[in-house]
Structure 1
Amino acid sequence: MFSPNRSRAASAYQRINVETSMHTMDQHQLVHLLYQGVLDAVTAARGAIARNDVALKCNSIAKAMRIIEEGLATALDRENGGEIARNLSDLYEYCLGRLVQANMHNDDAMLEEVAHIIGPIAQGWSEMKNPGAATPAPDGAPQAGHAVTTEG
């Protein structure tokens, strides 16, 4: 009997909590969360396709697209970002097209492709803030942040 009001109250509390968190986090952390949101939404869409859950698939793909369009793409500094901003913009446009196609054709491979494109960018973005957290280099290769010297 009271669940609709409790549900609305919980939803309102959650929105306020998210909005408050967004105002206190730095830009780097916010972009990290956007990338993670895209990857989570794509994962949810892939699972929905496997279960034949059309509504969840559509909602998850729409969420991924919204994050890319309204979050990641609008955050690009097109004036000062140079080639990196142009390349990311092109990459985001490509991913948006693949998401539309994946939605139309229930194509898991296209969703997997988007995840394989966004995943390394998200990982690289995370590692920029914590360079020591980078994955170890193969044997014999210099690790990030370590100078390479030659004797002679």
Structure 2
Amino acid sequence: MLHNAAQTYQSNQVTTASPSELTLMLYNGAIKFIKQAKLSLAERDYLKTHESCIKVQNILYELMSSLRREYPISGEFNKMYDYMLRRIVEANMRKSIEILDEVEDLFVQFRDTWKEAMVLAKTQG
């Protein structure tokens, strides 16, 4: 019962969120799944590690596909997302917490910068 309520709440959040809020959700989701991958890796549960890494890959694919190519900065974002994608695949293959830490740090930087940009956009109207 609680699981269904949580799923309904999460679904409502996604369907009513603005594009900027969705991007923030993707960043937060990637960080969550990287943390899960690191925990699973420490527990030597390689299947869960793999599944969490795949979820991060899917988030990166979504971020890449949502870029608006008419803005020059999109090319730079795409390069960074592509790098992160290659690194998460490598982390999954090598079972490397160090690489997971690197990708997590990049996501944290993206997320924190994105949150600041959202605040600035609201205050500047």
**Which TM bucket (shorter chain)?**
0.7 to 0.9
Q: Mark the runs of 5 or more structure 1 residues left unpaired by the alignment.
A: 1-5, 132-144, 146-152
Structure 2 partner of 1:77: 68
1:20 to partner: Cα distance? 2.4
Q: RCO (CA 8 Å, sep 6+): is it higher in 1 or 2?
A: 2
Distance 1:76 1:109 in 2: 28
Structure 2 partner of 1:121: 110
1:14 to partner: Cα distance? 4.3
Q: Mark the runs of 5 or more structure 2 residues left unpaired by the alignment.
A: none
Q: How many residues align?
A: 121
Identity %: 23
RMSD: 1.9
1:15 to partner: Cα distance? 4.0
- Choose from 43, 59, 77 the match for 1:88: 77
Q: What are the superposed Cα offsets for residues 8-53 of structure 1, whole Å, 9 maximum, x if unpaired?
A: xx44x54443332222111111110000011111111111111111
Distance 2:48 2:118 in 1: 33
Instruction: Tell which structure's C-alpha radius of gyration is larger.
Output: 1
Q: Of Structure 1 and Structure 2, which has the larger fraction of its residues in helix?
A: 2
TM-score (norm 2): 0.87
- Choose from 7, 13, 21 the match for 2:13: 21
